Chains A and B, each alone.
Chain A
Amino acid sequence: MTEMKMQENNISENNFEQCIKCTVCTVYCPVVPVNPEYPGPKQAGPDGERLRLKKGIFFDQTLKYCLNCKRCEVACPSGVRIGDIIQAAKIRYGKSRPKLRDFMLASTDMMGGIATKVAPVVNATLKIKPVKQIMDGVLKIDHRRSFPEYSSQTFESWFRKNALRDQEKFDRHVAYFHGCYANYNYPQLGKDFVKVMNALGYGVRLLDGEKCCGVALVSNGMINQATRNARRNIKLMEGALSSCEAVLGTSSSCSFTIRDEYPHLLGVDNSSVRDRMELAVKFIYRLLESGKAKLEFRDDFKARIAYHVPCHMEKLGWGIFSARLVKMIPGVEFTMLDSNCCGIAGTYGFKKENYEVSQAIGKPLFDQIRAVDPDYVACDCETCKWQIEMSTGYKVMNPISILAAAIKGRD
Chain B
Amino acid sequence: MSQHGKKNVNEFDVIIIGGGITGAGTARDCALRGLDVLLIERNDIATGATGRNHGLLHSGARYAVTDQESAQECIRENMILRKVARHCVEETDGLFITLPEDDLAYQEKFAQACRSAGIGAEIIDPKEAIRMEPSVNPSIIGAVKVPDGSVDPFRLTSANITDAKLHGAKIMVYSELTGFIKDGNTVKGVRVHSHITGEDLEFYAPVTVNAGGIWGHRIAEMAGVTINMFPAKGALLIFGHRVNNVVLNRCRKPANADILVPGDTVCVIGTTSSHIPFDEVDNMKVTPDEVDLLLTEGAKLAPSLATTRILRAYAGVRPLVSADDDPSGRNISRGIVLLDHETRDGIKGFISITGGKLMTYRLMAEWTADAVCRKLGVDRKCQTMDIPLPGSKNEDIEVISKKIWGSAGTIRKATAGRHGDLTSRIPAGNRYDTSLVCECEEVSVGEVRYAMEELDVHNLVDLRRRTRVGMGTCQGELCACRAAGLISQAGNCAREGKKDLKHFLNERWKGIYPVGWGDALRESEYSQWIYTGVCGLEN
Interface residues of A (CB under 8 A from B): 1, 3, 5-12, 16-23, 39, 42-43, 46-51, 53-55, 57-62, 78
* Cβ contact of A57, chosen from B266, B304, B413, B439, cutoff 8 A: B413
CB-based contact B439/A54 at 8 Å: no
Whether, in the assembled complex, B306 has its beta carbon less than 8 Å from a beta carbon of chain A, the answer is: yes
Whether, in the assembled complex, B477 has its beta carbon less than 8 Å from a beta carbon of chain A, the answer is: yes
CB-based contact B410/A7 at 8 Å: no
Distance in angstroms from A298 CB to nearest chain B CB is 54
Instruction: Rank and list the top 8 A-B pairs by shortest CB-CB distance, nearest first.
Output: A11-B307, A21-B474, A20-B523, A60-B410, A50-B265, A10-B309, A17-B309, A53-B242
User: Which residues from A are CB-within-8-Å of B160?
Assistant: none
User: Which residues from A are CB-within-8-Å of B295?
Assistant: 6-7
| Smallest CB gap from B525: residue in A | A20
Distance in angstroms from A75 CB to nearest chain B CB is 15
* Cβ contact of A17, chosen from B240, B413, B436, cutoff 8 A: B240
User: Which residues from B are CB-within-8-Å of A17?
Assistant: 240-241, 308-309, 473, 519
Whether, in the assembled complex, B472 has its beta carbon less than 8 Å from a beta carbon of chain A, the answer is: yes
User: Which residues from A are CB-within-8-Å of B307?
Assistant: 5, 7-11
- Give per-residue flags for B304-320: 1 if the beta carbon is below 8 A from chain A beta carbons, else 0: 10111110000000000
User: Which residues from B are CB-within-8-Å of A6?
Assistant: 292, 295-296, 299, 306
User: Which residues from B are CB-within-8-Å of A9?
Assistant: 307, 518
User: Which residues from A are CB-within-8-Å of B440?
Assistant: 21, 47, 50
Whether, in the assembled complex, B517 has its beta carbon less than 8 Å from a beta carbon of chain A, the answer is: yes
Known: A43-B439, A54-B242. A61 touches B306 (CB 8 A): no
Count class of interface residues, chain B? 35 or more
CB-based contact A20/B522 at 8 Å: yes
- Give per-residue flags for B416-446: 1 if the beta carbon is below 8 A from chain A beta carbons, else 0: 0000000000000000000010011010000
CB-based contact A10/B518 at 8 Å: yes
Complex formed: what's the CA distance from A42 to B472 in Å?
Answer: 14
Identify 22 residue pairs between A and B in the complex whose beta-carbon atoms are under 8 Å apart, listed by A's number: A1-B299, A6-B296, A6-B299, A7-B306, A8-B307, A9-B518, A10-B519, A11-B304, A11-B308, A12-B241, A17-B240, A17-B241, A17-B473, A43-B439, A43-B442, A47-B472, A50-B240, A50-B242, A53-B241, A54-B245, A54-B262, A78-B522
User: Which residues from B are CB-within-8-Å of A53?
Assistant: 241-242, 245, 265
Contacts A17-B309, A48-B410 aside, 14 further interface pairs with beta carbons under 8 A come to A1-B296, A3-B292, A3-B296, A6-B296, A10-B519, A12-B240, A17-B519, A20-B522, A21-B477, A53-B245, A54-B242, A54-B262, A58-B413, A78-B519
Complex formed: what's the CA distance from A3 to B294 in Å?
Answer: 12
Complex formed: what's the CA distance from A22 to B534 in Å?
Answer: 13
* Cβ contact of B241, chosen from A49, A55, A78, cutoff 8 A: A49
* Cβ contact of B308, chosen from A12, A23, A58, cutoff 8 A: A12
User: Which residues from A are CB-within-8-Å of B523?
Assistant: 20-21
Known: A39-B409, A39-B410. A21 touches B473 (CB 8 A): yes
| Smallest CB gap from B295: residue in A | A6
- Give per-residue flags for B229-248: 1 if the beta carbon is below 8 A from chain A beta carbons, else 0: 00000000000111001000
| Smallest CB gap from A1: residue in B | B299
Distance in angstroms from A347 CB to nearest chain B CB is 24
User: Which residues from B are CB-within-8-Å of A43?
Assistant: 410, 436, 439, 442
Complex formed: what's the CA distance from A17 to B410 in Å?
Answer: 19
User: Which residues from A are CB-within-8-Å of B262?
Assistant: 54
User: Which residues from A are CB-within-8-Å of B474?
Assistant: 20-21
User: Which residues from A are CB-within-8-Å of B473?
Assistant: 17, 19, 21, 46, 50
Complex formed: what's the CA distance from A48 to B440 in Å?
Answer: 8
Distance in angstroms from A359 CB to nearest chain B CB is 24
Give the number of A-B contacts (CB < 8 Å): 111
CB-based contact B265/A54 at 8 Å: yes
Complex formed: what's the CA distance from A79 to B266 in Å?
Answer: 22
Complex formed: what's the CA distance from A34 to B245 in Å?
Answer: 37
User: Which residues from B are CB-within-8-Å of A55?
Assistant: 397
Distance in angstroms from B225 CB to nearest chain A CB is 45
User: Which residues from A are CB-within-8-Å of B296?
Assistant: 1, 3, 6
CB-based contact B265/A62 at 8 Å: no
Complex formed: what's the CA distance from A19 to B295 in Å?
Answer: 22
| Smallest CB gap from B265: residue in A | A50
User: Which residues from B are CB-within-8-Å of A5?
Assistant: 306-307
User: Which residues from B are CB-within-8-Å of A39?
Assistant: 409-410
* Cβ contact of A12, chosen from B300, B306, B309, B436, cutoff 8 A: B309
User: Which residues from A are CB-within-8-Å of B306?
Assistant: 1, 5-7
Q: Which of A12, A16, A47 has the most CB of B within 10 A?
A: A47
Distance in angstroms from A401 CB to nearest chain B CB is 44
User: Which residues from A are CB-within-8-Å of B34?
Assistant: none
CB-based contact A50/B241 at 8 Å: yes
User: Which residues from A are CB-within-8-Å of B517?
Assistant: 7
* Cβ contact of A51, chosen from B299, B300, B414, B522, cutoff 8 A: B414
CB-based contact B264/A54 at 8 Å: yes
Complex formed: what's the CA distance from A19 to B523 in Å?
Answer: 8
User: Which residues from B are CB-within-8-Å of A19?
Assistant: 473
Whether, in the assembled complex, B526 has its beta carbon less than 8 Å from a beta carbon of chain A, the answer is: yes
CB-based contact B519/A58 at 8 Å: no
Distance in angstroms from B132 CB to nearest chain A CB is 16
- Give per-residue flags for B28-47: 1 if the beta carbon is below 8 A from chain A beta carbons, else 0: 00000000000000000000
| Smallest CB gap from B523: residue in A | A20
Whether, in the assembled complex, B227 has its beta carbon less than 8 Å from a beta carbon of chain A, the answer is: no
Complex formed: what's the CA distance from A1 to B307 in Å?
Answer: 11
User: Which residues from B are CB-within-8-Å of A47?
Assistant: 439-440, 442, 472
CB-based contact B242/A1 at 8 Å: no
| Smallest CB gap from B414: residue in A | A51
CB-based contact B519/A18 at 8 Å: yes
Complex formed: what's the CA distance from A395 to B12 in Å?
Answer: 85
Complex formed: what's the CA distance from A116 to B264 in Å?
Answer: 54
| Smallest CB gap from A23: residue in B | B478
* Cβ contact of B398, chosen from A51, A57, A62, cutoff 8 A: A57
Complex formed: what's the CA distance from A23 to B440 in Å?
Answer: 12
Which residues from 402 to 416 on chain B have a C-beta closer than 8 Å to any C-beta of chain A? 407, 409-410, 413-414
User: Which residues from B are CB-within-8-Å of A18?
Assistant: 519
User: Which residues from B are CB-within-8-Å of A22?
Assistant: 526
Complex formed: what's the CA distance from A1 to B100 in Å?
Answer: 14
Complex formed: what's the CA distance from A21 to B307 in Å?
Answer: 20
Distance in angstroms from B289 CB to nearest chain A CB is 13
Distance in angstroms from A62 CB to nearest chain B CB is 6
User: Which residues from A are CB-within-8-Å of B409?
Assistant: 39, 60-62
CB-based contact B397/A57 at 8 Å: yes
CB-based contact A10/B308 at 8 Å: yes
Complex formed: what's the CA distance from A18 to B526 in Å?
Answer: 13
Which residues from 169 to 194 on chain B have a C-beta closer than 8 Å to any C-beta of chain A? none
Whether, in the assembled complex, B303 has its beta carbon less than 8 Å from a beta carbon of chain A, the answer is: yes
Known: A10-B308, A12-B241, A17-B241. A50 touches B519 (CB 8 A): no
